[in-house]
């Protein structure tokens, strides 16, 4: 008997083909999800660094007296909408043996799921010390 020409594909071939397509689709989906998480982390890092730097820039407006005892409005707070998920805390310590020099630390805090996360930026600020003149 002559062999008939094969027509169509077998069930096994179609299942194998669908399996391969499914695996490729799952891999592409996982890669896309990773890229989206990476983009979200990059966006968060840019926002947090900019917020911390802006709070550090506020320190340029403070006086020597304010640095010695930070007002609450400079020491801590929440950023306005749409960045109100972030809070800040500023700490200032005078540098020992260096009159007028202060260590400044600005922390930006936020919640990531159920854990607290923070970004810290440090700098030093110099203010000419207030000199008192002796009576003449």
Burial of 65-79, coded b for 16+ CB within 10 Å and e otherwise, reads eebeebeeebeeeeb
Segment 72-78 mean pLDDT? 90
Helices of type H across the chain: 11-58, 64-68, 72-75
Domain boundaries, the chain: 11-126
29: which residues sit within 8 A by CB, 6+ positions away?
Answer: none
Query: Tokens 């540098």, residue?
Result: 95
Q: Check residue 7 and give its pLDDT.
A: 76
pLDDT tens digits, residue range 1-24? 566 666 778 889 999 999 999 999
- Report, as an integer, the average pLDDT of 89-105: 91
State pTM to two decimals. Answer: 0.70
**What is the structure's pLDDT at 100?**
85
């Amino acid at each position: 008997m002559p062999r008939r020409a094969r027509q169509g594909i077998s069930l096994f071939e179609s299942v194998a083909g669908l399996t391969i397509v499914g695996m490729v689709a799952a891999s592409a989906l996982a890669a896309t999800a990773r890229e989206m998480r990476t983009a979200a982390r990059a966006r968060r890092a840019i926002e947090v660094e900019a917020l911390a730097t802006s709070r550090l820039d506020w320190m340029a407006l403070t006086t020597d007296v304010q640095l010695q005892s930070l007002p609450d409005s400079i020491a801590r707070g929440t950023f306005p909408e749409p960045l109100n998920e972030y809070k800040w805390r500023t700490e200032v310590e005078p540098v020992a043996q260096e009159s007028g020099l202060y260590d400044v630390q600005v922390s930006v805090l936020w919640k990531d799921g159920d854990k607290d996360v923070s970004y810290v930026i440090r700098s030093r600020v110099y203010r000419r010390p207030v000199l008192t003149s002796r009576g003449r």
